[in-house]
Every structure is written in C-alpha cells, then in structure tokens.
Structure 1
C-alpha cells in the first residue's frame, strides 16, 4: 500500500509535468493518442463519479454555514470567467473556433483540481468544496445560458440540449457518487485513497487525446492559444482575489474564492466542444489542464509559505472590521 501511495503522490504532485508529457506525445505521435478522444465523455463521467464519492453530507450542509462566501465565489466564477474569456478573445482577435473554445472554457464549472490547490494553499477547504459543488449544479443552467448570450450570434447552439447533456455528464454521476458514499461507505473507503492519482491519470488522458486530435490546428496557432488561456487564467485569479478583498472575505476564504474562480473544468469543456462546436474549439480546454494546474500550484505554494491565523482577515485597504456581523465575514 505504501508503494501505491508513493506512486500516487508522484502522479498528483507532478501533474503539470505529466500533462505536458502527454501533450508532447500528442504533438509528436498524434496517431498514438487521438483514438482516445471519443472516450472523453465516459472519462469525464467517471471523474465526476469520483468527485461524488469524496463528498459528504457535511459538504452539502456547509453551503448554509457560509452563504455569503459561497454566493460571492459563485458570482465571481460565472461572471468574471465568461466575460474575461470574451474580452481576451476580442483583444487577441481570435478566430470563431478559438473564441468559441475559450468562452466555453470560461462558462463551465470549476475543476476538482482547484480543491487540491486550496488545500495546499491552506485556504478554506469547506468553502472551496461547497463552491465546486454549487458551480457544478449551477452549470446545468448557467453554462448553456452564458454560451448562448456571449457567442450565440457566432455559432449555432441548442441551449436545452446542452443543459441536458451537462446534467447527464456532470450532475448525475456526482449524485450517484454521493449516494454511494452514503449507502456504501466501506466500499468508498477503499476507493478514496486512489481518487487523486486516478483522477490525475484521467485528466492527462483527456487533455492529451484531444490535443492530439487537434494537433494540426495547434501547430498553426499554438502560441496564441497558450497566451489566451494563460491570460484568462491569471486574470481570473487576479479579479477573484480583488473581489474577495473588496467584499472583506477572510484570508482563508479569499484564497478559496481566488483559486475556484481561476481554475475551470477543462474536461467538461472538452466534451461540450466535441459535441457542439468546431474541432478547433477543443484546443483551449486541452491546454488549460497543464496551465491551470501549474499556475494554481505556484500560487498555492506561495500562499502556503505565509503564516496565517485561523480567523485572520484580509489586510490592507479593505480590512474587515472587528464589529462586522459574522454573516458578512464568513
């Protein structure tokens, strides 16, 4: 078991490196990986099932304990990231396919890797888990609606059809996983230690296979794709942090909201791009895996190096007052 744990730690700790290796193979020998692209849907559903298994009833009730932070974080995620994606696409003058892919990436729920980063950053993990859960369920309505509003004139899309696909691909597996955790706790107890490394391997597979399938387009537009995804990601971190400070969240909650805002569920975006749009729309999400995990881990390790108190509040111009009601300082 120790050997398995060591291997798992290597996979999760160096996940950005393994994603880059996968992308490199996809660029060098695309035929060896491109065949896995059609299976992305099933891999994403499996990932969401694993996410459900790691949840507990406390994660659901936790939403009611810190509603203000959850509301602010969800609002950040579904306003900052979609609008920022649209702005970056306009600024870089991306073509219709890449614009569609970047906006779609900005409109999906937060990724499970963000919870890991919040843990490493010594942020408010319950807030992060609750945010991920709320954004996942909200994506049924908000993802197709935002895509329709932002790029509905650019591409044809059936919002009800996309909503149904998100429900089947994302929400249903999470619910099944949560039910398994409740009714089969011993079975899930054996599974949970493997969730991290298995999820890492699955993420590498999704990103690499779909990158390989669209490698030709990447060869002609690779630099601009990387620049767009990086600007979108770092912009999300920056605005998420500033909004958290402005609304006087605690330091721990600020870290959670920042990371949950800037990191997206690239796997879901890949499958939706495959299903509804031009193949080139997959590429921003395919490269986002490595970029989001790398920048998130750098930010998390920087924050982890700073000593904070359990009840410390964000310092600076927007410091929370000691007499601030608890509901507004959760």
Structure 2
C-alpha cells in the first residue's frame, strides 16, 4: 500500500498543485515549513543508507566520478544556457541555475529501480552528490550568476549543512544503530518523503499563483528542456565514455533528476518566491518523465534480455 502511494507521487503532486492554485490561502501561510519538510525528506534518505552503501565509491571510482562530474557540470551549464536562450527574467534564471547546481534527487533511486538500472550505483551517486552539495551548490551558483545576483556563498553552505548534511548523517546513524527496528518501517520513509515534497510543491504553487499566470508557460518550457537535456546528456555522454547500457541508463536518470526540494528551499531563502517556481515545477515534471523513461527502458530491457 505504502509503496503504491510512493510510486504515484506525480499524481499526488499534480492534484495538490491544482488544489493549491485554486485555494492559495490554504497553503501560502506555511512558507516557513519548507525547510523543516525538506529536512524530513533528507532524513528519510539517510535512514535508507548505511556506511556500506559508500563502498561502491572504492570499487567503481571511475563511474562514480563520471556520474558526479556530469551532475555538477551538465545541469548548471544547461540551466544557464537555457536562461540566456529563452531570455528569462533574472529571478527565474536564478532559480533555474540554482536548480541545476543542486545534487541528484532521491526520487532517482526509485525511478532507477523501475527502469531496471543499477540501483546500488544510483544510491551511491545520489549520496555522493548530496554530500558534496554544501560546497558545490553555492560555489557553482555564484560562478554562473554571481555577477548579476548577490549569492551568499558562506550562508548558503551553512544552510545546506543544516538542511541536508545533518539530517542525512543523522538518518545514517539511526539506521546503523537501530537497523532491526528501522527495517520494519522501511516502506514508510519513502511515503513520508513523498508527502513532505508534495506539501512543499503546494506551498510554492500557492505563493506563486500570480507569477504562474504571468510566467508559468515560460518556466514550464525551461524546466521541460532542462530535464530532457539532462536525461539525454547523461545517457549519450556515458555511452561516449565507454560505459555499458545499464550504467548509461542509470547515470542518465541520476543526472536528469535534481533535488528540486533543496532548490526550492534555497531559492525562497536567498532569492525570491518566483525563483522557487522552476524547482516546484521540476519536482512534478522530472518524476513524470522519469516514470515514462523507466517504463520504456524496463520494457526494452526485457525485450533485449538485459
């Protein structure tokens, strides 16, 4: 039951977005809850990990380096290039670039599982990019838009440590020390994370109702291309670098799916509510497209006997 609830995340996100758009006053007062809700999501990620999950870094360092490198090189550059090509307003550009500079999203692990990819590799890549986020996300955001928008690198690093690193680390410790008890609730944590992300999306949609009416189509175009180029770039670059089909599909999913919740939290705190809109829309879209891609690759793998 809980697993089915988790897999239907795109549906819940769309439904709650529609409700928030129709009744914004029901959600807009809770903007302060975005950061604690994201902390719950990050704790949920940590609770599924143990120290052993990071051993793959030592066993397959080249693949991990390629995946992490593409995550932090491709997605920020694509976001920046799209912003210039579409002539996005500065606040939306800041939000899209910030989104591109964020680590891989936890939903990528579920999508990778559905696509019959290398789940262990996906989990390791998500974990590594997440742990590097407190340095790379602020630094890359400043590199791309620091000349046009004030980026508080030091403060942003501290925020990511509080929002991401500490909850994830706490989750790993709890799982390591109380694994037998945690294992009984294994399916509950992804469902809890989905619930938290859905409410974050609803809050952002409610806050940005007027902005959506004005710039919603433009942001949607930017998000669709950002996500699509991330999937395509991750896949074809992996193949060009000599990785096998399963690894290429895994990296494509990992690169194309961002921690949009983190971008939303940081955008609201350091830029403006409008800057959080790309992350909110991305949360919905990348799960929809990820699910479609997973269904196609899963079927294709069965046909090829992979």
Q: Which residue of 2 aligns with 1:45?
A: 39
* Larger Rg over CA atoms: 1
Q: TM-score, normalised by structure 2?
A: 0.97
User: Is the 1:250–1:311 contact (alpha carbons within 8 Å) kept by the matching residues of 2?
Assistant: no
Q: Which residue of 1 aligns with 2:18?
A: 24
Q: 1:255 aligns with which of 239, 249, 260?
A: 249
Q: TM-score, normalised by structure 1?
A: 0.90
Q: 1:67 aligns with which of 61, 78, 92?
A: 61
Corresponding residue pairs, total: 306
User: Is the 1:124–1:253 contact (alpha carbons within 8 Å) kept by the matching residues of 2?
Assistant: yes
Q: How does 1:1-330 map to 2 (within 5 A)?
A: 6=1, 8-307=2-301
Structure 1 SS opposite 2:242: coil
Structure 2 SS opposite 1:35: helix
Structure 2 SS opposite 1:111: coil
- 1:308 deviates by 6.2
Q: Which residue of 2 aligns with 1:315?
A: none
User: Is the 1:98–1:284 contact (alpha carbons within 8 Å) kept by the matching residues of 2?
Assistant: yes
Deviation digits for residues 244-271 of structure 1 (CA, Å, limit 9, x no counterpart): 0001112111111000000001111011
Query: Considering only aligned residues, what root-mean-square deviation do their CA atoms show, in Å?
Result: 1.5
**Residues 1:140 and 1:170: Cα distance change in structure 2 (over 3 Å):** same
Return the alpha-carbon distance in structure 2 between the equivalents of residues 155 and 14 of structure 1: 37
- 1:278 deviates by 1.7
User: Is the 2:44–2:190 contact (alpha carbons within 8 Å) kept by the matching residues of 1?
Assistant: no
Return the alpha-carbon distance in structure 2 between the equivalents of residues 310 and 174 of structure 1: 37
**Residues 1:235 and 1:34: Cα distance change in structure 2 (over 3 Å):** same
- 1:172 deviates by 0.9
User: Is the 1:63–1:70 contact (alpha carbons within 8 Å) kept by the matching residues of 2?
Assistant: yes
Q: Flag structure 2 segments of 5+ consecutive residues without an equivalent.
A: none
User: Is the 1:108–1:139 contact (alpha carbons within 8 Å) kept by the matching residues of 2?
Assistant: yes
User: Is the 2:117–2:249 contact (alpha carbons within 8 Å) kept by the matching residues of 1?
Assistant: yes
Return the alpha-carbon distance in structure 2 between the equivalents of residues 162 and 191 of structure 1: 33
- 1:311 deviates by 11
